[in-house]
């Protein structure tokens, strides 16, 4: 941990250098969180950036650790930073070769919830994107099977959104056994 920090103080992480060279127009912001490089990427360019991170022979971020999202609707400071985009889709990548991580964040506006699917790059993105769809309602364009994964198929709403009540809208008291068994 200490070694990593010293290196970072002296030189820019390789991933930032290479991204700035190859995809400067895609980067909205860059950050550092507990030793992990964080880049905020324009939605239109996210697939290209992810593909670059995965396929570049020096970076080789070949492992998609997680796809999730954040609802910033009650986080004024975050909203202001990125043109009042309500959601932030988050990709966590890991490089077996460089043994390091990078976090790619993508602001998504509520009036256009679509974002390109990463299933073409990592097959493992399938269920991760389904979960993000289930919980936040983000639509991953090009996903082969974008269904709910955790909640029942006939569930309404997306429960990890901040405006969804913690105790639900009465789903736990009333549901149709016959319909669900069918």
Partner 1 sequence: MGLDFGPSGEQDGNIITTTIDKVVNWGRKNSLWPMPFGTACCAIEMMATLASKFDLSRFGSEAIRFSPRQSDLLIVSGRISIKMMPVLKRIYDQMPDPKWVISMGACASCGGVFDTYTLIQGVDQFIPVDVYIPGCPPRPEDLIDAVLQVQEKISSGASPKGVEVIYE
For residues 3 and 163, which CB has a smaller minimum distance to partner 1 in the complex? 163
> Nearest 5°: CA angle at 72, between 150 and 77?
160
List the one residue from 63, 84, 94, 164 that touches partner 1 (CB under 8 A).
Answer: 164
> Given the structure tokens 């930073």, which residue do they identify?
81
What is the four-CA torsion angle of 147, 104, 93, 10, rounded to 10 degrees? -170
Q: Does 163 bind partner 1 (CB under 8 A)?
A: no
The span of 37-45, 94-102, 126-134, 164-172 binding partner 1 (CB under 8 A) equals 164-172
The span of 34-42, 84-92, 122-130, 158-166 binding partner 1 (CB under 8 A) equals 158-166
* HSE-CB for 119 with a 13 A CA cutoff: 15
CB-CB contact of 140 with 116 (8 Å): yes
CB-CB contact of 123 with 110 (8 Å): no
List the one residue from 125, 126, 159, 161 that touches partner 1 (CB under 8 A).
Answer: 159
Alpha helices (runs of H) in the chain, residue ranges in sequence order: 2-10, 14-23, 46-55, 76-81, 125-136, 177-181
> What is the pattern of x (binds partner 1, CB under 8 A) and - over residues 111-150?
---------------------------------------x
Q: Does 180 bind partner 1 (CB under 8 A)?
A: yes
Q: Does 166 bind partner 1 (CB under 8 A)?
A: yes
> Which residues of this protein are in contact with partner 1, per CB under 8 A?
150-152, 159, 164-169, 171-173, 175, 177, 180-181
């Amino acid at each position: 941990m200490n070694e990593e920090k010293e290196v970072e103080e002296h030189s820019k992480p390789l991933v930032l250098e290479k991204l700035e060279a190859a995809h400067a127009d895609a980067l909205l912001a860059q950050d550092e969180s507990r030793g992990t490089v964080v880049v905020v990427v324009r939605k239109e360019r996210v697939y290209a950036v992810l593909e670059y991170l995965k396929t570049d022979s020096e970076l080789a971020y070949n492992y998609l650790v997680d796809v999730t999202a954040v609802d910033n609707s009650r986080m004024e400071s975050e909203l202001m930073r990125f043109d009042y985009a309500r959601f932030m889709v988050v990709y966590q990548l890991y490089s077996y070769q460089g043994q390091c991580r990078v976090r790619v964040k993508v602001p998504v506006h509520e009036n256009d919830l679509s974002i390109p699917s990463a299933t073409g790059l990592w097959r493992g993105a399938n269920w991760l994107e389904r979960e993000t769809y289930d919980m936040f309602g983000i639509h991953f364009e090009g996903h082969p099977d974008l269904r709910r994964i955790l909640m029942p198929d006939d569930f309404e709403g997306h429960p990890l959104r901040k405006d969804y009540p913690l105790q639900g809208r009465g789903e736990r008291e009333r549901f149709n056994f016959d319909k669900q068994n069918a």
